[in-house]
Amino acid sequence: MRNALLITAGLLSALSSSWTMAQAISVEPHSLMRLPSNTSVLQLDRLEVADYGTLLIPAGLTEVQVGQLVMGHESRIAIVPGAEPFTLQVKRGEMGSGAQITARGAPGTFEKPPSPGRNLNVRMEQLNADELFIDARGGAGSPGYVGLDGGNGQDPGCTWGSASRGFDGDNGGNGKDGAPGALVRLELPQAFPDDRVKVNVQGGAGGVGGEGGRGGKGGASKGCLVYRADGAKSGKNGEKGQSGAVGPAGSVIVRKL
């Protein structure tokens, strides 16, 4: 066990230049491994992601060259969104059922817009798989702000004044548009069937509109010695904001080797 830890530590510390060569990287079942972000190109003899394992590719890594790629059942290679395209070159690939390569854009927040799917260049000279599935959808748009609630009306007096109506709530903000899907270029073996290639490059969903603010309560009725002072109506609730538009779809280009 100690030797394995030393090997792993030595490998990760070696991944510190712009071009790095290593013998093998293995992701254990049901575990997550994140590659360091201080290298841009990584060359491997073998890369294995076991069943339900996930290998996280940081934004700064732009190319991985693999002699043999083995992906287990429901395993993932998850590529973080980034401005630079990511290239994956594989000599021999084997992908188990449910294995995926994902390069989805990040969803938007109130502080920042969504990011598009990361553009991909994938070359597999040999591929043994029931299906090649790549998810490179755009990130969902930012949600709209919730409208402010209206203020409450003033209660009436018994000798002066009438109750005032509650103030209307503000309308909710509109959701923002989703981000575009990625541009995915594939180079695959001539014998690999087209109907086994599943690539999703849809644009991100539009952000949901914010809920309208609640209307303020009207001044309450009040019983007096001779008569009863009427209450006032509550304010209207604000309208819900409109959802943002779906982002534009990306594109897929497939070339057979």
Is 228 within the bounds of a domain?
Answer: no
Is 154 within the bounds of a domain?
Answer: no
Is 183 within the bounds of a domain?
Answer: yes
Is 51 within the bounds of a domain?
Answer: yes
Is 153 within the bounds of a domain?
Answer: no
Is 54 within the bounds of a domain?
Answer: yes
Domain total in the chain: 1
| pLDDT tens profile 170-211 | 999 999 999 999 999 999 999 999 999 999 999 999 999 999
Is 235 within the bounds of a domain?
Answer: no
> pTM here?
0.80
CB of 127 closer than 8 Å to CB of 96: no
Say which amino acid occupies 57.
I
Select from 25, 87, 21, 22 the least CA-distant residue to 50: 25
pLDDT (0 to 100) of residue 161: 62
Select from 146, 154, 162, 156 the least CA-distant residue to 209: 146
Confidence of residue 14 (pLDDT cuts 50, 70, 90): very low
Residue 112 DSSP code? S
**Structural domain harbouring 35:** 2-142+173-209+240-256
pLDDT (0 to 100) of residue 102: 97
Phi, psi of 209 (to 5 degrees): -70, 150
| pLDDT tens profile 152-162 | 877 766 665 67
Is 225 within the bounds of a domain?
Answer: no
